Amino acid sequence: MSENPFLTPSDLPYQLPPFADIRNEHYLPAFEAGMAEQLAAVAAIGADPAEPTFANTVVALERSGQGVFKRVNIAFHNKLSSDTDDELNAIETEISPRLAAHADKILLDAGLFARIEALWRNRAALDLDEQDERLLERYRTEFVRGGAALDAAGKERLAAINGELAELASAFNQQILADINDAAVHVTDLAELDGLGEDQIGAAAAAAKDRDLDGWLITQSNFSRHPLLEDLKDRGLRERLYKATIGRGAGNAATLLRMARLRAEKARLLGYEHFAAYIAADQTAGNAGIIAERLAGLAEASVRNARREAAELQEVIDAEGGDYALAAWDWSYYAKQVRQSKYGFDAEALKPYLELDRVLVDGVFHAAEKEFGLTFEARKDLEGYHPEARVWEVFDDGEPLGLFVGDFFTRDSKKGGAWMNALVVQSDLTGDKPVVVNNLNIVKPPAGQPALVSVDNVTTLFHEFGHALHGLLSACRYPKTSMTSTPRDFVEYPSQVNEMWEDWPEVVANYARHHETGEAAPAELIAQWKAAGKFGEGFASTEYLGAALLDQAWHRLTPEEVPDGGDDPYAVVQAFERKALEDAGIYMPEIAPRYRSGYFAHISIGYAAGYYSYIWSEILDADTVEWFKENGGLTRANGDHFREFLLSKGGSIDPMESYRRFRGRDAEIDPLLERRGLK
């Protein structure tokens, strides 16, 4: 084996991992070395004969995980999500339960917990500043929620549960990616693709060629609603595509049921009624009952709006002489027609003005420069983890700030969806500057063709870069509370705020230019785009809330209430879904939840019982957008204020206190209700 690059710090700028030198064979030995290194450091903390102090216990614990273990852990999980293969999947299967056991060895260490508890009880006398006290609180909370206060039998059972859950999550995620690839729809008759643009047909042809197939291949989306449903005129193909999309997940049914039962048992072991209560207790919401009440209230209004929209779509079908009732695979197609009829907006007419790099550089980066003084320089000399992962150096008023890595195209080796993660975590303690990654799943155009993106892709680019800004602008002392290390129901907030710039006049005028001529998009077309965005909130809210309520339903069960899979676990899961949605008053056969249970990746990667977070964060987002508008919009002064009081703080102080300091008060819900037509 070649020399393991994880065993020493990277000598690349900003400690970017040396991807050119990393091989699959390096991961397991590095994990083993890293875990041993950290456990030795932790053992030394526990064995220290000196009285516990903040420095010799909490700061020492914070430093213990910053070496080999952190380097390999971050690089491995980034590669696993973005560019996996069979060998990496096998490593994940092997290492996941070992990583869970490693964490438990630390969190269940009675001596270490005793030192932390002593400091917590005496915190008023420790002369801690705000960031110090927050770090102590997070460690103490993490240990308590990790089972440190349990008796020996409880600790043993919790460790077993955590190990099995890690194995199940690994299997669940690998099955999702396999299902996405297997559910692609093969088309052999070009006539069936009527309605698609040349770029979409070209991408489908390229996808088929990549798999040695004739004709065209429609690759799958992460969501229940495939984006091409709005363009395909052939109703039969729409139905086939929709059913292939929502038909995924059978292979995950038994895994899901087992995860639900184990999570319910874990919650009970730790003193909670159910797993949703366990999760809510450490979020800004604080209480699962409050979450349930808020979601129920929003669901009623959302379904009412969705039914009104459905009636409009049925009118279009009837007017065209369609002898059928609106079905789920028809919704997007006829919604597009209504938008065109009501607002004159055709998304395909805007698409030639939305070339990926121009949207990114002249839109996303441009807004960040106007708001925060950031500039970006392509670093073609720095290699990413995949040839399509491009690197930019980020400057803050001319001073080096960090690196941004953009990986925008879909591929069979990448999981679905879009996300941000860190490759290097900003910390004043370690002296590390941030390196962040944005991943999207835009369909790659044929060679030599421009990457023209959809309106939804534009929104996602701005959204994910909002997460990137939360990381890049972090100015925190400790890694544990840096960057996006906030509660789940807060972390989506900065990214949602950044979406406001996608159609801000100054920004859209800078990036919405024809990919061939450079001509600006007509003002009328931009106005139609903005106006058309008001239609469809009923569908969007119902689709989202269906998934959020489904997530809550699975995680509000006691161990005894989790259904048994029997001979057909998939049928059991489907029946549970139907009843849960009906009980929540949000079941509509024309609108599937954004994710169904078997391909709901969020519930296996840290968002279990937390998918409500998006709507919760949107309360803060909508209120913040109002603040920006009231104070002059896209100005450096506004950006500096947002940065100083919120983005730079990460999780180093209570996030809601950060919000109050930024806004001058608690958030109000009215702007959200008005935005979604729910007031």
483: left (phi over 0), alpha (psi -120 to 50) or beta: left
pLDDT exceeds 70 at position 228? yes
The SS3 call for residue 129 is coil
CA dihedral 293, 296, 302, 304 (to 10 degrees): -120
* Contact assessment for residue 249 and residue 179, using Cβ atoms and an 8 Å cutoff: yes
pLDDT exceeds 60 at position 10? yes
Residues 631-646, mean pLDDT to the nearest whole number: 98
The SS3 call for residue 366 is helix
As a whole-number percent, the residues of the chain with pLDDT over 90 amount to 96
* pLDDT tens string 482-504: 999 999 999 999 999 999 999 99
Whole-angstrom distance, CA of residue 388 vs CA of residue 19: 13
CATH number, domain at 436? 1.10.1370.40
- Complete DSSP assignment for 611-673: TTHHHHHHHHHHHHHHHHHHTTSS-HHHHHHHHHHTGGGTTSS-HHHHHHHHHSS---SHHHH
Whether 386 maps to a domain, the answer reads yes
Residues 202 and 316 in one domain: no
Q: Which of 62, 192, 230, 464 is catalytic?
A: 464
Residues 243 and 256 in one domain: no
Whole-angstrom distance, CA of residue 323 vs CA of residue 301: 30
Residues 433 and 550 in one domain: no
CATH number, domain at 339? 1.10.1370.10
Residues 438 and 540 in one domain: no
* pLDDT tens string 342-366: 999 988 899 999 999 999 999 999 9
Catalytic site includes residue 464: yes
Whole-angstrom distance, CA of residue 201 vs CA of residue 190: 9
Which pair of structure tokens corresponds to residue 345? 């907006």
pLDDT exceeds 90 at position 222? no
pLDDT exceeds 90 at position 639? yes
Residues 410 and 451 in one domain: yes
Mention every residue, 6+ apart, whose C-beta is less than 8 A from residue 353. Answer: 512, 513, 514, 515, 520, 521, 525
**The pLDDT of residue 221:** 85
Which pair of structure tokens corresponds to residue 441? 């799943």
* Contact assessment for residue 542 and residue 302, using Cβ atoms and an 8 Å cutoff: yes
Whether 328 maps to a domain, the answer reads yes
Residues 516-532, mean pLDDT to the nearest whole number: 95
Which pair of structure tokens corresponds to residue 160? 């077993």
Q: Which amino acid is at 244?
A: A
CATH number, domain at 29? 1.20.1050.40
Residues 330 and 356 in one domain: no
**The pLDDT of residue 679:** 75
Which pair of structure tokens corresponds to residue 269? 């072991």
pLDDT exceeds 70 at position 98? yes
pLDDT exceeds 70 at position 454? yes
Cβ burial 494-530 (10 Å sphere, 16+ → b, else e): bbbbbbbbbbbeebbebbbbebeeeebbeeebbebbe
Residues 133 and 234 in one domain: no
Whether 200 maps to a domain, the answer reads yes
Residues 300 and 188 in one domain: no
Triad 14, 20, 24: Cα angle to 5°: 110
β partners of residue 217: 186
Residues 519 and 386 in one domain: yes
Whether 677 maps to a domain, the answer reads no
Q: Tell me which DSSP letter residue 355 carries.
A: B
Domain around 190: 183-248
- Complete DSSP assignment for 263-305: HHHHHHHTT-SSHHHHHHTTSSS--HHHHHHHHHHHHHHHHHH
Whole-angstrom distance, CA of residue 483 vs CA of residue 469: 9
Which pair of structure tokens corresponds to residue 507? 């920004």
pLDDT confidence bin for 551, thresholds 50/70/90: very high
CA-based nearest residue to 363, from 469, 463, 508, 519: 508
The SS3 call for residue 32 is helix
Which pair of structure tokens corresponds to residue 314? 């049925």
For the chain, the first-to-last Cα distance in angstroms comes to 63
**The pLDDT of residue 606:** 80
Residue 45 has a CB neighbour count (10 Å cut-off) of 22
If you search the block for the tokens 């009675």, which residue do you land on? 110
Whether 669 maps to a domain, the answer reads no
pLDDT confidence bin for 288, thresholds 50/70/90: very high
* Contact assessment for residue 472 and residue 374, using Cβ atoms and an 8 Å cutoff: yes
Strand 374-378 relative to strand 216-218, pairing:
unpaired
β partners of residue 185: 218
pLDDT exceeds 60 at position 1? no
* pLDDT tens string 15-68: 999 999 999 999 999 999 999 999 999 999 999 999 999 999 999 999 998 999
Which uninterrupted H or E stretch holds 420? strand 419-424
pLDDT exceeds 60 at position 88? yes
β partners of residue 442: 409
Question: In 483-557, which ranges are continuous DSSP H helix?
Answer: 488-498, 505-511, 523-532, 537-555
Whole-angstrom distance, CA of residue 620 vs CA of residue 333: 32
β partners of residue 424: 435
Which pair of structure tokens corresponds to residue 4? 């393991």
Whole-number mean pLDDT of the chain?
96
Total count of domains within the chain: 4
Q: Which of 214, 248, 282 is the last residue of a domain?
A: 248
As a whole-number percent, the residues of the chain with pLDDT over 70 amount to 100
If you search the block for the tokens 């001509």, which residue do you land on? 519
Which pair of structure tokens corresponds to residue 65? 């995980």
If you search the block for the tokens 């990460």, which residue do you land on? 650
Q: How many whole angstroms from its chain centre is CA 462?
A: 13
Mention every residue, 6+ apart, whose C-beta is less than 8 A from residue 35. Answer: 69, 98, 102
Mention every residue, 6+ apart, whose C-beta is less than 8 A from residue 402. Answer: 14, 393, 394, 424, 426, 433, 434, 435, 436, 471, 472
Q: Which of 500, 515, 532 is the last residue of a domain?
A: 532
Residues 445 and 404 in one domain: yes
Residues 505-526, mean pLDDT to the nearest whole number: 97
Whether 495 maps to a domain, the answer reads yes
**The pLDDT of residue 136:** 98
* Contact assessment for residue 56 and residue 63, using Cβ atoms and an 8 Å cutoff: no
Which pair of structure tokens corresponds to residue 179? 């299902």
Whole-angstrom distance, CA of residue 273 vs CA of residue 265: 10
Question: In 108-151, which ranges are continuous DSSP H helix?
Answer: 110-121, 130-145
H helices, E strands: number in the chain: 26, 7
Q: Which amino acid is at 220?
A: Q
Q: Tell me which DSSP letter residue 427 carries.
A: B
Residues 480 and 424 in one domain: yes
Say if residue 665 is exposed, middle or buried (CB neighbours under 10 Å; 0-12, 13-18, 19+).
exposed
Residues 488 and 599 in one domain: no
Strand 399-409 relative to strand 435-442, pairing:
parallel
**The pLDDT of residue 677:** 84
Which uninterrupted H or E stretch holds 315? helix 288-319
Say if residue 383 is exposed, middle or buried (CB neighbours under 10 Å; 0-12, 13-18, 19+).
middle
pLDDT exceeds 80 at position 212? yes
Whether 675 maps to a domain, the answer reads no
Mention every residue, 6+ apart, whose C-beta is less than 8 A from residue 313. Answer: 326, 330, 331, 334, 335, 338
CA dihedral 100, 103, 105, 106 (to 10 degrees): -170
* pLDDT tens string 362-391: 999 999 999 999 999 999 999 999 999 999
Whether 546 maps to a domain, the answer reads yes
**The pLDDT of residue 356:** 98
CA-based nearest residue to 2, from 10, 628, 20, 14: 20
Whole-angstrom distance, CA of residue 602 vs CA of residue 491: 14
SS3 content of the chain, % helix, strand, coil (to 5): 60, 10, 30
**The pLDDT of residue 2:** 67
